[in-house]
Structures are given as structure tokens and as C-alpha cells.
Amino acid sequence: MTTDAAVGEDVAHLFNNLSGISRNTTYDGLLVAPDSVRDGLIDQIHAEISHHQAGRRAGIRIKANSIVDEATIDALYLASQAGVPVDLLIRGICSLRPGVPGLSETIRVRSILGRFLEHSRVFWFFNDDDPVAWIGSADLMHRNLDRRVEVLVRLPEGPNVDKVSALLDMAFSPEISAWELDSDGAWTRNRGEIDLHEKLIESQRRRR
């Protein structure tokens, strides 16, 4: 839900395109599959590579249910080979191998299973300390990127970006109980002291 006028205009263009009223397939703040989600994310990954090579702060954090798309995985491998830190929070299928010497040494993958069947996807890029964050529905799978209409929306700068960043910081904290993917494809339980889902529930109680 948003009152952002630019996002509302983009969504109106999208529905007009789906209904056949309009043929506009370009958007100011959306990435829409099957046209632009894969290419848009890969462009962002290459931008982080450029930042890192220029000595600027760079990094990639992705939260999704699955990652099997070869083109995206290859781009993440290139980022790792360039030295970009990559953190992946993948609840289900992960075809990428982290920590492989010369290929994915800067990539770590974890999975958090618990009370919630989480559905949110987040694509976060440090962008020289001017973070770019996308949220939406698309997993990194062929069915999502090529055979469905899926939307990612870029979060406007401000408190929402900071809040998503804090949630990612929490999810990747070593204190959080999680499964860690090894370079040989095996999952190992990291028995951290904190259950992420219970912590999220408690934080919402405090807000109320």
C-alpha cells in the first residue's frame, strides 16, 4: 500500500498495458516481468561491481524464496569475483554455491525457517551509501521472470528504506538462528540464540 503518486501512475500504466488500452512498457519506479525484472536486477548487480572497482562502498543483499535463474546467478558470481560482498537469504531452493574459491568467495547464503511462511522479496544494493531497495513478488526463477507478470517496486528514499535495511541486518546477524549453505551444497544449522520470527512478533507488540 502506498500513497506515492509516481508508483500509482506506474501501476496505472501497468494495468492499462495488461488490458490492452496502452502499449507503454516503461516505468519510472517498477521492474515488470517478463520484460524488465531480470535485466533490471542484473544491471543493478553490475552497478555494484563498478562501485566496488572504483573504491566506493558496494554490496548486494537479496531475500527471496528461491534462486535458480542462471543469468542472475552468473551475474552474482561475477560480482563475487570482483570482490563485492553478497548476502542471500533464500528460504527454499538455491542453485548458487557460496564460498567456492575463485568463484563465490564473498557470497554467503542462509535460510531462516520458522513460524511464518514468508513471502516477501527484497533486492538491496548499497550503491555507494545511497541504497537502492526493490520489493515485490518475484522469485529468481524462470516461471517468475519469463512466464508471469511480476512486479518489483523501488522504495522511495527515507524511513522505509532504513527499516528494510534494519530488517536485513537482523536477518543476517550471527545471533539469529538459521541454516547456512556450504560450498559443497550442504546446509548446516547455525544455532543462534535468537528466533527471528519471535523477535519480529515482539517488536510489533512493543510498537502497539
Structure confidence by residue, pLDDT tens digits, 170-187: 999 999 999 999 999 999
Instruction: Find where cell 552474482 sits.
Output: 76
Whether 63 shows a pLDDT value over 70: the answer reads yes
Which pLDDT does position 99 carry in this prediction?
97
The overall pTM is greater than 0.85: yes
Whether 208 shows a pLDDT value over 70: the answer reads no
Which pLDDT does position 140 carry in this prediction?
97
Mean pLDDT calculated for residue range 135-161? 92
More confident residue, 2 or 64: 64
Q: Which amino acid is at 160?
A: N
Whether 115 shows a pLDDT value over 70: the answer reads yes
How far from the centroid of its chain's Cα atoms is residue 74's Cα? 16
| Confidence tier at 158 by pLDDT (50, 70, 90) | confident
Residue (of 75, 173, 174, 81) closest to 125 by Cα position:
75
Q: Mean pLDDT across the chain, nearest whole number?
A: 92
